[in-house]
Amino acid sequence: MPRSSAVRISHFLPSLLLLLAGLAAAYIKDLNVFFTSLFNVLPTLVLLLGGAYCAVYRRQRELFLMVTVYIAYFLLDTQTDYYRDNGKVREDAAVVFHLCCLLLPLLFGVFAAWQERTHLFQDMVARFAVLLAVGSVALGLEQSYPQALLMWLSEIRWPALHGAWMSLIQLSYPVFIASFLLLSWQYWRNPRPLHAAQLVGLVGLFWALPKTFILPFTLNIMCSQVMLMIAAAVAHEAYQMAFRDELTGLPGRRALNERMQRLGRNYVLAMSDVDHFKKFNDTHGHDVGDQVLRLVASKLSKIGGGGRAYRYGGEEFALVFAGKTLEECMPHLEVIRESIATYNIQLRNQDSRPQDDQQGRQKRAGSGATSVSVTVSIGVAERQEQRTPEKVLKSADEALYSAKGAGRNCVVAFGQTRRGAVRMDAAAG
């Protein structure tokens, strides 16, 4: 998955918007009856719908995250309801609240970092066993030794680190920090919408817990938003799997088909193909071939003139220019063709791969690396009267074959047979 800034922003954006919406709703003072009733049922509704959605996609990690958040919500909501109805807290309010502040970030961090690596049923049993064990121990201690447990939880163990601003027990802060660092490391290693949602959701819980008895419906709103973040991340990843090519990070064939249905009246379509790719693969291996495809995709993704690149299949890529003419697009296609042709790829022996970046730079600068290059051929077609996008794409594909016949490494428009300005070997070295 690409790790560009734009992609990272897209990972966090839905969760951040939900977090901001939750913060705004929590600070609304005068709620009418409709919103009061809605916030009372919202967490349960989100759990049922979001949990069912995760179950359908067999996303057990996300399902148990939702269940963990909901259990904490249920326990604390029982306390806040009693407080609103009677004007005082229950006798066990303090110990229940402190247990939730300690165990919620702990279980949230554990389940968020616990990836599905085994059989689905075994994984579900293991997660349920952890949840049951932690819950049973906590319940047993709370029922048998409430005062001793409360004293242990509320004890200030590190006076030098304790601040007057701390609204939670001191033990909960290192647990929140440890979970946040763990989830940050997980996202850094594997940037995904789900991992971003987990980070933002943990921040939302950290904000909401101290406000539980202060701002009405804060718990209902924020727990609902956190569960929505997780469900939205599952939907986001499902969309990416369906519409985005995993190898190159470009939108895939299905995304192209959708885009072609809403192109408007004027547009240009181009088909691009890596020259002699099968021969290159046979010579250098599929790992290097994948590296070449990622390189070509990276170059094509930077096409100017308002173009958008798509992975069509194999070594073929499609380029879409909405609202453009052929004359406007040709210079940009020539620029991108030349950019790929003049780029040298450094190949290294995988057995002697360097252990760190500094050694890698030294090896790439030395004479031990093999330099290769690839070229692409591009066929391009413009929409004309009464031509469907499918026919225009077929014309671009025919122009691509003309570019191959014209010597490769050139751009040929549909109906033309001229050669490109320069012909280069498909691979050197």
Quote the pTM value. 0.72
User: Catalytic residue among 91, 315, 390, 398, which?
Assistant: 315
At 358 the pLDDT is 53
pLDDT digit string (tens) for 123-139?
Answer: 889 999 999 999 999 99
For the segment 154-173, the average pLDDT, to the nearest whole number, is 86
The CATH number of 251-349+369-411 is which of 3.20.20.100, 2.130.10.10, 3.30.70.270, 1.10.4190.10? 3.30.70.270
Higher pLDDT, 134 or 162: 134
Is 327 one of the catalytic residues?
Answer: no
pLDDT digit string (tens) for 177-210?
Answer: 999 999 999 999 989 899 999 999 999 999 999 9
At 172 the pLDDT is 95
At 319 the pLDDT is 94
For the segment 22-35, the average pLDDT, to the nearest whole number, is 78
Owner of token pair 């379509």? 269
State the pLDDT confidence band at 230, using cuts at 50, 70 and 90.
Answer: very high
- Residue 347 pairs in a beta bridge with 370
pLDDT digit string (tens) for 248-279?
Answer: 888 888 889 888 888 888 899 999 999 988 88
| % of the chain surpassing 90 pLDDT | 48
Across all residues in the chain, what is the average pLDDT? 85
Nearest Cα to 201, choosing from 66, 51, 24?
66
Nearest Cα to 372, choosing from 340, 397, 332?
340
